[in-house]
Amino acid sequence: MTKLLNRKIATPSGPEGIRKTSTGIRGLDEITGGGLPTGRPTLVCGGAGCGKTLLAMQFLVHGATECNEPGVFMAFEEMPDELAENVASLGFDLKALVAGKVLLIDHVQIERYEFDESGEYNLNGLFLRLGDAIDTIKAKRVVLDTIEVLFRRISNQAIVREYLYGLFRWLKKKGVTVVITGERGEGTLTRYGLEEYVSDCVITLDHRVLDQVTTRRLRVVKYRGATHGTNEYPFLIDKDGISIWPVTEAQLEHPTSDERIPTGIERLDAMLGGRGYYRGSSILLSGNAGTGKTSVAATLADATCRRGERCQFISFEESPSQIMRNMKSIGLDLQQWVKKGLLQFQTVRPFRYGLEMHLARTIRAITEFDPLVVIVDQMSALETTGSPIEIKAGMMRLIDFMKMRGLTAMYTDLTSDARTVALTESGITSLVDTWLVVRDLELNGERNRGLHILKSRGMAHSNQVREFIMSEQGIELKDIYIGPAGMLTGSARVAQEARERTEQVNRNEEVESQQLDLKRKHDALEGKIAALRAEYSAEESRIRRIISRGEQREDSLALDEMEMGRSRKHDAPSKTGRVESVRRN
């Protein structure tokens, strides 16, 4: 069976003891708070082609395969073989279930001539036939498709109401959970406008066309004894049957994380506090056409896959092959991640479905692939699928879904000179955590790109504008030159940087010249000092020699005087060694 049938859903009781039976239809059990009322009739009504029979059959198949609850399908229009063929494409093998005695399909045909001949009408034969079918397989679930056939020849509504009451009382006594399908009437939920009043639960299905786009919706009109979702919910019919996506989490109880993940652009990580985005955050990337929004998103996808994490890339404008080819020009090989199962592309034209259907398909695809990072490129393509208020409501649901699953999501949005951001007008920017803007910078006949961060909740971030450059080496963010002439980008920035380099070289040469001149002066000074020291040393030696000769001369004179004194015996040497005169008395 399909994934949906393998998914078992709890069947809690309501606050007043209402027991509920799981339908196995994703979203419907959540809307009804656990499923349909056990042992009571539920009316499923709508126009042709809205999915009444399919919903009823999916209810039976789920009970038979997952809940050990055999079921009876009593058809008043389609033959058993036709039913089996119609639902085979959804993975429902009715013949196998019938052979396993967990499903019984009975076709009851009421001919007009039989009704006209008898002139009377009662449900005793139906009760006997249905009761026998229930007892045969011990059925817990029953489907009657469609109820109008039973009373199409009765014009008296009082009689129809009486018969309906009788039928519903009989079904309740049997204790089976019943789904009864009914056709929509003119101005009423059903053809007779009575069935909804005697049913305990009423579900309407709608298949509407708006601006040439079809959308299926479901609404729980009433549910006796239990609370339930009251809005209209879009639903899908595809290979897995019916799936319904509720609106949003009303309590705003989203899980948060302090973990940061890199953007894939080193300089952008630095602008975001050096660590990148918060895991589980929502990022809006807006800008004009050709500013590189898809390239920034693809860089995030590449960085995610390099960490071994799954990334889902949802595109409304480009095919997967076109995106992968284009990203090779900036050095990104995304095809390798597709082959490894880490990257999945989901592409569809925006005009193919309505807004609700797009959201339902997107949520379903994300649920099945189970990525950690999701990229939606571009959300502005959806503005043709609804009004600004509808777009905001839809985007709120999508962002809310992503946050509840803890997914890091990047949404790109196209802007133009003629208008502001469509999603900004709808208030989408108040829902995202980080808002990046890439824009054109026109100067000196050139168009260059710039990137800046308008907001990033919960982190310090740069308020600087960076020039945004794409090359074969990837995306690079450069500082924008701010000078007397204003902001310079592109070739003007390159020329200014060249001038600054030249000026720096000239300054370096001037400094080097000054340093050489200073060294020469220093060397000259050192030479002069050395010469003066040599001259001083020579003069010192000369003076010392003069002093030494003077001392020698004095000593020689003293010796001569001593010799003369000895010869005259008048002089005697003093204690100091000098000759002194000896006075006579």
List pLDDT tens digits, range 383-400: 777 777 777 778 888 888
DSSP designation for 378: -
Q: Which residues pair with 443 in a beta bridge?
A: 446
Cα–Cα dist 343/420, whole Å: 32
Of 228, 227, 235, 233, nearest in space to 248 by CA: 233
Residue type, 342: L
Nearest-5° Cα angle at 241, 238 to 246: 90
Q: Encoding tokens for residue 549? A: 């000769």
For residue 39, report the phi and psi dihedrals to the nearest 5 degrees: 75, 15
Counting beta carbons within 10 angstroms of the beta carbon of residue 285, is it exposed (0 to 12), middle (13 to 18) or buried (19 or more)? buried
pLDDT of residue 181: 92
**Mean pLDDT for the stretch of residues 542-550:** 86
pLDDT of residue 419: 43
Cα–Cα dist 14/265, whole Å: 52
Whether 136 shows a pLDDT value over 60: the answer reads: yes
CA trace torsion 144, 8, 26, 402 (10° rounding): 170
pLDDT tens, residue by residue, 194-204: 677 778 899 99
Q: Encoding tokens for residue 354? A: 């309505």
**Cα distances (angstroms) measured from residue 74 to each of 103, 107, 136, 146, 446:** 11, 6, 14, 9, 73
Cα–Cα dist 38/11, whole Å: 10
Assign residue 90 a region (left: φ > 0; alpha: ψ between -120 and 50; beta: otherwise): alpha
Of 483, 519, 521, nearest in space to 503 by CA: 483
pLDDT of residue 570: 55
Assign residue 46 a region (left: φ > 0; alpha: ψ between -120 and 50; beta: otherwise): left
For 386-445, strand residue ranges (E) read 408-414, 434-443
Whether 256 shows a pLDDT value over 50: the answer reads: yes
Look at 8-12, 268-272, 505-509 and tell me which has the smallest mean pLDDT. Answer: 8-12
Look at 29-33, 38-42, 192-196, 555-559 and tell me which has the smallest mean pLDDT. Answer: 192-196
Tally of CB atoms within 10 A around 167: 23
Residue 422: pLDDT band (50, 70, 90) is very low
Whether 281 shows a pLDDT value over 90: the answer reads: yes
Whether 576 shows a pLDDT value over 70: the answer reads: no
Sheet of 141-145: strands edge to edge?
A: 103-107, 71-75, 141-145, 177-183, 41-46, 201-210, 213-223, 233-238, 241-244
**Mean pLDDT for the stretch of residues 480-508:** 72
Q: What's the chain's average pLDDT?
A: 82
Residue 429: pLDDT band (50, 70, 90) is confident
CB 76 within 8 A of CB 110: yes
pLDDT of residue 20: 94
pLDDT of residue 13: 46
CB 320 within 8 A of CB 338: yes
Cα–Cα dist 44/220, whole Å: 9
Residue 16: pLDDT band (50, 70, 90) is low
pLDDT of residue 240: 79
User: Comparing 333 with 564, which gets the higher pLDDT?
Assistant: 333
Residue 233: pLDDT band (50, 70, 90) is confident
Residue type, 125: G
Of 213, 530, 509, nearest in space to 349 by CA: 213
Which helix or strand (DSSP H or E) is residue 166 part of? Answer: helix 157-174
Cα–Cα dist 242/6, whole Å: 14
Domains (range + CATH), the chain: 3-244 (3.40.50.300), 260-479 (3.40.50.300)
**Mean pLDDT for the stretch of residues 346-374:** 86
**Mean pLDDT for the stretch of residues 280-288:** 92
pLDDT of residue 192: 65
pTM over 0.75: no
User: Comparing 572 with 538, which gets the higher pLDDT?
Assistant: 538
DSSP designation for 26: B
**Mean pLDDT for the stretch of residues 306-326:** 94
Sheet of 343-347: strands edge to edge?
A: 343-347, 311-315, 373-377, 408-414, 282-287, 434-443, 446-456, 466-471, 474-479
Cα–Cα dist 452/479, whole Å: 11
**Mean pLDDT for the stretch of residues 109-133:** 69
CB 380 within 8 A of CB 358: no
pLDDT of residue 8: 40
pLDDT of residue 436: 93
Of 230, 189, 186, nearest in space to 206 by CA: 189
Of 403, 375, 461, nearest in space to 281 by CA: 403
Whether 426 shows a pLDDT value over 60: the answer reads: no
Of 4, 8, 27, nearest in space to 244 by CA: 27
pLDDT of residue 159: 75
CB 34 within 8 A of CB 11: yes
pLDDT of residue 270: 92
pLDDT of residue 252: 63
Residue 9: pLDDT band (50, 70, 90) is very low
pLDDT of residue 111: 61
User: Comparing 569 with 314, which gets the higher pLDDT?
Assistant: 314
DSSP designation for 351: G
How long a stretch of residues is the chain?
585
